[in-house]
Amino acid sequence: MSILFCLFLQIKREIATMKLIKHPNVIRLHEVMASKTKIFIVLEFVTGGELFDKIVNHGRMIENEARRYFQQLINAVDYCHSRGVYHRDLKPENLLLDAYGNLKVSDFGLSALSRQVRDDGLFHTACGTPNYVAPEVLDDQGYDGAMADLWSCGVILFVLLAGYLPFDDSNLIDLYRKISVAEFTCPPWLSLSAMKLITRILDPNPMTRITIPEILQDEWFKKGYKPPVFEEKDDTNLDDVEAVFKDSEEHHVMEKRKEEEEQPTTMNAFELISMSKGLNLENLFDAEQGFKRETRFTSKCPANEIIHKIEAAAKPLGFDVHKKNYKMRLESSKAGRKGNLNVATEIFQMAPSLHMVELRKAKGDTLEFHKFYKNLSTCLEDVVWKTEEDMKEVN
């Protein structure tokens, strides 16, 4: 099976999985669309950032705050498991926060469905992030997706309360050894009940590890617990997912052309200063020092209008025009003294309503470039705001 096809199946699986999950603590996938070249996924808009960033910026949490996030995480994971979905890469980086501080599980790229288990009822694909992965996943003897997810939840709870990882080592072999025997120590500031729960979750034996129903009855977990309230509708429709991956023409959406998507390159003050002739030594090496090999002008016209005006002015002068975004190559159809004259043109944005246009001789005779620019500028009188000479006078 090719790598591309495996990637195709993985993307399809992630999209289909997210459409199955409709829970207040899981990122909601609203719609999936496709053009001829892209897949567009419309997700719930979550503005609070990653839980990971909160830990990095503020350090460990007090138990009440950590408990609230852990309760929401267990609610989400329990729901996913009830729908036959196993995340397999739970970590703070994949837990987002909304504007109200509610946790949202995201990134189902490594998720698996219950129908993907082998005949022994276990998963056999080792995946996940090393510091958060369960020991049975590393053993490569098959594992229960629910128990592996629960182990990751235990690591997350430890990180929330301690501010650091329970299993960490620069040597991967030593890290795996610590995970396989659950070699960790709880910090002294944790309450006894919190330590007890973490120890029961981070049990290296999945057969004796605490289960989610048991967690829901745990003394530490139950404090202030509020079960999620939401209306579950069994109206999941995967038709749009199937249509996208069957490349159905009738389901394609129109996307903007690249010329419409791109913007002119923005030029900052330092780049503008560097263009000053006082800092430019190129002309010292120019055999035809009487004529410039490049020139510029500014314009208050929109960038697209400048492009169209230059194209309209260059064609009657015998130049073929090749465009790519906000760059152009003007190529003379007649050979001159040093071959065909080629002029490179680019538009830079200096401010929202001010653009600078640079024309540079890319090939050909410098004198012919000078004559071409004089003829071109005559046709661009309604576009040009200030020429390079005007700008020098201002300076």
Tokens 């991967």 correspond to: 172
Residue 34 identity (one-letter amino acid) = A
Distance CA 332, CA 342 (A): 6
The closest of 109, 91, 83 to 50, measured between CA atoms, is 91
Distance CA 380, CA 237 (A): 56
Q: In the chain, what is the straight-line distance between the N-terminal and C-terminal CA atoms, in Å?
A: 65
Active-site annotation holder among 78, 89, 144, 218: 89
Residues 6+ away with beta carbon under 8 Å from 238:
16, 19
Distance CA 260, CA 254 (A): 13
Distance CA 61, CA 55 (A): 8
Please indicate whether residue 320 is annotated as part of the active site.
Answer: no
- Contact present, 167 and 183 (Cβ < 8 Å): yes
- Contact present, 204 and 182 (Cβ < 8 Å): yes
The closest of 278, 306, 295, 283 to 370, measured between CA atoms, is 295
Query: Which residues are tagged catalytic?
Result: 89
